[in-house]
Chain A
Amino acid sequence: MSTALRIGTFEFHSRLFVGTGKYTSYEVMQQALAAARCQVVTVAVRRERLYDSQNRSLLDFLDLKRYTILPNTAGCFTAEDAIRHARLARELLEGLNNPGSKWVKLEVLADKKTLLPDPVATLQATRELVRDGFTVLVYTNDDPVLCRQLKEAGAASVMPAGAPIGSGLGILNPNNIRIALEYLKENDPDYPVIVDAGVGTASDVTVAMELGADGVLLNTGVASARDPVRMATAMYHAIEAGRLAWGAGRIPKRAYATASSTFDGMINSSQ
């Protein structure tokens, strides 16, 4: 059981990736990221507000020496748009001297209601971004066959969703995640698999890690909690608990009891 998480040339001791969206203030975000003890934070690429440049920027509140920035292609509904966003993000992060310029969280979505990925466009965009030299971490459905195809297309990490983005439903199909992990790690046990999206609370994170995921990426579960900083602390412990439990090897489930206290040496029954 390795202690470091390796994705391409990246290496981290924290296995929790945290998003920077939806916090009530940048100050709360900063405190939540610190409480989560994460090393990787995700960001999005959007138009600069040209008429309101006095507004505070996210970049003033992220310690770029401390965090590796993982840019996403959130909001993209075509492979072409996702590739454009990835290249813009690379240019931005190169300008900021952040190691995150080398990678991207690829999202190609199918529709706004479900925010579920478009599998065909996701596969196509993965191939193109890998060809363009990106370390691609790809957000995908929890379909094990698609996960395998994305790995074969060159994705450095496959990131199946636990549930729809921001839904807080947790790991809806643990069996699919289990099979995806089996497929992706066959003859390649260190291949990194990160459960991305759908986490509502700490136990969801633990379930993902107990299944054998290498990490969890989340945002809304922390940012929209009543107390984001406290929830971020819980998520940190949930990652640790799940990883430890996975490494420890759980007992098999069984239908009937097995006594913890031996029946040997009992005094005479009164019956």
Chain B
Amino acid sequence: MKIMLNGEERTLNGEWSLTRLMEELQLPPQRVAVEVNRQLVTRACFGQTLLHEGDQVEIVTLVGGG
């Protein structure tokens, strides 16, 4: 399936939860926040949240700002 990950197309094969995606990307879950299709997915729900064709996933963190 194809998803949009931070604005870029990405192809994933098989079943993907957000937990698996975090592991694949080597991102520590406590340092990111995730939206799927503009809806916040809390960390506790990463395991049960499965990705689907066409999903728009945003993974954000904190950066310098005023």
Contacts and interface: CB of A to CB of B under 8 A. Distances in A.
Interface in B32-66: 32-33, 35, 38, 40, 42-43, 58-66
A23 B46 CA distance: 34
Contacts of A150: none
Count chain A CB atoms within 10 A of each CB in B31, B32, B63 and give the residue with the most.
Answer: B63
B5 interface: yes
Contacts of A197: 66
Interface in B6-46: 6-7, 25-27, 29-33, 35, 38, 40, 42-43
A42 B65 contact: yes
- The size bracket of the interface on A is 35 or more
A219 interface: yes
A218 to B, nearest CB: 7
A96 interface: yes
Interface string A1-39: 000000000000000000111110000010000000000
A131 interface: no
Given A57-B31, A95-B43, A165 B63 contact: no
Contact of A20 (B32, B33, B43, B64): B64
Contacts of A145: none
B6 A72 contact: no
B28 to A, nearest CB: 9
A21 B62 contact: no
Contact of A74 (B30, B42, B66): B66
Interface residues of B, number: 25
Contacts of B58: 47, 88
Interface on chain B toward A: helix, strand, loop, or mixed SS? mixed
Interface on chain A toward B: helix, strand, loop, or mixed SS? mixed
A74 B40 contact: no
A156 B26 CA distance: 38
Given A47-B7, A59-B31, 8 more contacts: A19-B65, A20-B66, A47-B60, A48-B32, A50-B25, A84-B35, A88-B60, A165-B66
8 contacts: A21-B63, A21-B65, A44-B66, A46-B60, A91-B42, A92-B33, A92-B60, A197-B66
3 tightest Cβ-Cβ pairs between the two chains A and B: A44-B65, A219-B66, A19-B66
Interface of B: 5-7, 25-27, 29-33, 35, 38, 40, 42-43, 58-66
